[in-house]
Amino acid sequence: MLPEKDHLDGEITLEASLTESGIKASAKSRFIVALDRMFGGIFDIPTAMMEGYAARKRLEDKLKRDAIEQRQELDLSGELTTKRIEQAAMHAAQATQVRSALNKAAIAAIALEDLSENAGSTSQTDDPLDEDWINVFGGYAENASSERLRQLWGKILAGEIRKPGSFSLTTLRVISELDQQTAMLFQKHATAIFDGNLIVKKGNPKGQTLFELTFLEEVGLLQEASGTLGSDQAFNEEGNYTLVNKNIVLVAKRSGPHTFRIDLIRISRAGQEIMSILPPESPDIVLREIANRILEFSDSILIGLILQHYPDGRINYQIIETIK
């Protein structure tokens, strides 16, 4: 059984922990509300659950041993009487409750770690967490027994606490059905991000590549994978073409104007929200992909690090690589 503990003492301890972590007041309030509404007796779980993976693992092992010992105490020899069946059912329910509590507490701890490590990125909004969102999330979280799933749900909880509305209910459903193979496939293709929510299509996808892209569209992560979505781009009258992505710039030159088209795949809302918790890609990836597209009709192409933006639109940059 989970050890008994005064609810108020646990909440005060958590308040102190959050304050020391430098988490903004609005996020701190949302975090405590989330724990109270979504995880029920979370404050009754020892503080060790909030002190990193090693401490959580030790407590998890202890609770599992306790549950096993309790089941072993049952006398199920001989005829199974109604009383014995009721006892077995009761202990099975207790084991399920322990597992659910462990899963949710581990996710809460991961969210706290994420919020602490990225305290400065919290939105200034005082908007509360949506109660329906909390209820749906809690249902998914209690079944996350693997460390991979706990990490995923923990980051989602942290993201929603930072900025309520970051993850839709549709996205929660998609993530709940997302196996590791599909997640890896999404990461494989969700590169060369153009304009925030588009992927630069690499050539004319066919065979296995087209099959994978179509599959990602079927599960709700991509849109128009086999469509004709694109963006028309142009070298100006002087033969210059510039494309900025964050702090990196692509600069290409040729003798005179020229137009070309970049074929694109749209990332769905669920896909965009999942991408927000994945490690960010280097901003030069999409620029290098586009550089490959214009290689044949460009006289020179380079990638540069932006040093300064001027009011008239000009930029000062340092050359990172000369591609052509």
State the greatest distance between any 2 C-alpha atoms of the chain, in Å, as a whole number.
93
Residue 278 has pLDDT above 50, yes or no: yes
Per DSSP, 22 falls in state: T
CA gap 41, 256 in Å, rounded: 69
Give the mean pLDDT of 307-313: 89
- pLDDT for the residue numbered 29: 73
Q: Which two tokens stand for residue 81?
A: 């009487």
What contacts 24+ positions apart, CB below 8 Å, involve 140-146? 140/172, 140/175, 140/176, 141/38, 141/103, 141/104, 141/107, 142/100, 142/103, 142/104, 143/100, 143/103, 144/103, 144/107, 145/99, 145/103
The Cα–Cα gap between 292 and 236 comes to 19
pLDDT digits (tens, 9 = 90+) for 143-185: 887 888 888 999 999 999 888 999 999 999 988 888 888 988 9
Q: Is the pLDDT of residue 234 over 90?
A: yes
Instruction: Render pLDDT for 81-112 as a digit per residue (tens, 0 to 9).
Output: 555 545 555 555 565 666 777 788 788 888 88
User: Letter for the amino acid at 272?
Assistant: Q
Report, as an integer, the average pLDDT of 286-293. Answer: 93
Is 0.85 topped by the overall pTM?
Answer: no
Which class for 196: exposed (0-12), middle (13-18), buried (19 or more C-beta within 10 A)?
exposed
Going by pLDDT thresholds of 50, 70 and 90, the confidence category of residue 211 is very high
**pLDDT at residue 134 greater than cutoff 50:** yes
- The identity of residue 205, as a single letter, is P
